[in-house]
Chains A and B, each alone.
Chain A
Amino acid sequence: MKENRRRFLKELAAGSSTVLLTPHSEAVDSVEHFTGYPDRVGMLVDISLCIGCRKCEEACKQSNQLPPITVPLEDKTVFQRQRRTDAENYTVVNQYANGQPGMPGVYVKKQCMHCEEPACASACLVGALTKSKEGAVLYNKEVCLGCRYCMIACPFGIPAYEYHNPASPQVRKCTLCYERIKSGGVPACAAICPNEAITFGKRSGLLKLASEKILNNPGKYQDHIYGLTEAGGTTWLYISQVPFAALGFPMNLGVKPFAEYTRGFLSAVPVVFVVWPALLGAFYLFAQNRLRQPGTETMPTGPNGEAAT
Chain B
Amino acid sequence: MNWKCLAVVAALFICLAGFQAVEHPEPASTPSGSAALEVNCLDCHIGPNPTKEDPRLAPCPRSATNSGPEVVLIDRLSEQYVPVIFAHKLHAQMAEIAGGCVVCHHFNPSRRILACQECHSAASPGNLAKPGLKGAYHRQCLNCHREWSHETECAVCHAKKTANSARVRLPDPADIMGILHPNAKEPITKVYATGYEPGKLVTFRHQDHVKRFGFKCVNCHREQNCSQCHTPAETAPRSKTFTEYHARCAACHETREHRTEACANCHSDTEIPPFSHEKTGFALDETHQDAACSDCHVSSQFSTKFSAKPTCSTCHEEQEKITYPERLPGAKVASL
Interface residues of A in 184-231 (CB under 8 A from B): 186, 191, 193-196, 199, 201, 205-206, 208-209, 212-213
- The main secondary structure of chain A at its interface with chain B is loop
Judge if B231 is at the interface, Cβ distance under 8 Å.
yes
Shortest CB–CB separation between residue B108 and chain A, in angstroms? Answer: 19
What is the distance, in angstroms, from A75's C-beta to the closest C-beta of chain B? Answer: 10
Give the shortest distance, in Å, between A179 (CB) and chain B (any CB). 17
In the complex, what residues of A have CB within 8 A of residue B138's CB? 194-196
The smallest beta-carbon distance between A48 and chain B, in angstroms, is 9
Task: Indicate if the CB atoms of A196 and B134 lie closer than 8 Å.
Answer: yes
B174 is an interface residue with CB less than 8 A from chain A: no
B235 contacts partner chain A, Cβ-Cβ < 8 Å:
yes
With beta carbons under 8 angstroms apart, the residue of A53, A205, A208, A213 that contacts B152 is A53
Contact status B146-A102, CB under 8 Å: no
CA distance A103 to B146 in the complex (A): 9
Please, which residue of chain A has its CB at the minimum distance from the CB of B233?
A: A102
Chain B interface residue bracket vs A: 20 to 34
Closest residue of chain B to A202 (Cβ to Cβ) is: B128
Bound: A208/B146 CA distance, A? 28
Cβ-closest chain B residue relative to A102:
B234
Are B129's CB and A103's CB within 8 A?
no
- Whether a CB of chain B sits under 8 angstroms from the CB of A277 is no
Interface bits A73-96 vs B (CB < 8 Å: 1, else 0): 110000000000000000000000
Task: Give chain B nearest CB distance to A152 CB in angstroms.
Answer: 36
Closest to B136 in A: A196
Kindly state the separation between the CA atoms of A66 and B310 in the bound complex, as whole angstroms: 87
A100 contacts chain B at the CB level, 8 A cutoff: yes
Q: Which of B129, B131, B153, B234 contacts A101 (CB 8 A)?
A: B234
| Residues on A with beta carbons closer than 8 Å to the beta carbon of B147 | 103-104
Residues of chain A within 8 A (CB-CB) of B153 are: 53, 73-74
Chain A residue nearest to B139 (CB atoms) is A195
| Chain B nearest Cβ from A44, distance in angstroms | 8
B149, closest chain A residue (CB): A104
Asked if residues B146 and A196 are in contact (CB atoms below 8 Å), the reply is no
- Contact yes or no, B155 A74, CB < 8 A: yes
Minimum distance in angstroms from B217 CB to a CB of chain A: 24
Q: Are A196 and B131 in contact (CB under 8 A)?
A: yes
Q: Establish whether residues A102 and B231, one from each chain, have CB atoms under 8 Å apart when the complex forms.
A: yes
Contact call A102/B134, Cβ cutoff below 8 A: no
- In the complex, A246 Cα to B138 Cα: how many Å? 26
Structural contact, A212 and B129, CB atoms closer than 8 A: yes
| B69 adjacent to chain A (CB < 8 Å) | no
Contact (Cβ within 8 A) A194 B134? yes
Q: With contacts A53-B152, A209-B128 known, is A102 near B227, CB below 8 A? A: yes
Given contacts A51-B142, A51-B146, A212-B129, contact A196 B135 (CB under 8 A): yes
What residues make up the interface of A, taking CB atoms closer than 8 Å to B? 44, 49, 51-53, 73-74, 100-104, 186, 191, 193-196, 199, 201, 205-206, 208-209, 212-213
A-B residue pairs in contact (CB < 8 Å), sample of 27: A51-B146, A51-B152, A53-B153, A53-B154, A73-B154, A74-B153, A74-B155, A100-B236, A101-B235, A101-B236, A102-B233, A102-B234, A102-B235, A103-B147, A104-B147, A186-B124, A193-B135, A194-B154, A195-B138, A195-B139, A196-B131, A196-B132, A196-B135, A206-B128, A209-B128, A209-B129, A212-B129
What 13 new A-B contacts, CB under 8 Å, besides A103-B147, A206-B128?
A44-B128, A53-B154, A102-B231, A102-B234, A102-B236, A104-B152, A186-B124, A194-B135, A196-B132, A196-B138, A196-B139, A209-B128, A213-B129
The 8 A-B residue pairs whose C-beta atoms are closest, nearest first, are A196-B135, A102-B234, A51-B152, A195-B138, A194-B138, A196-B131, A209-B128, A201-B128
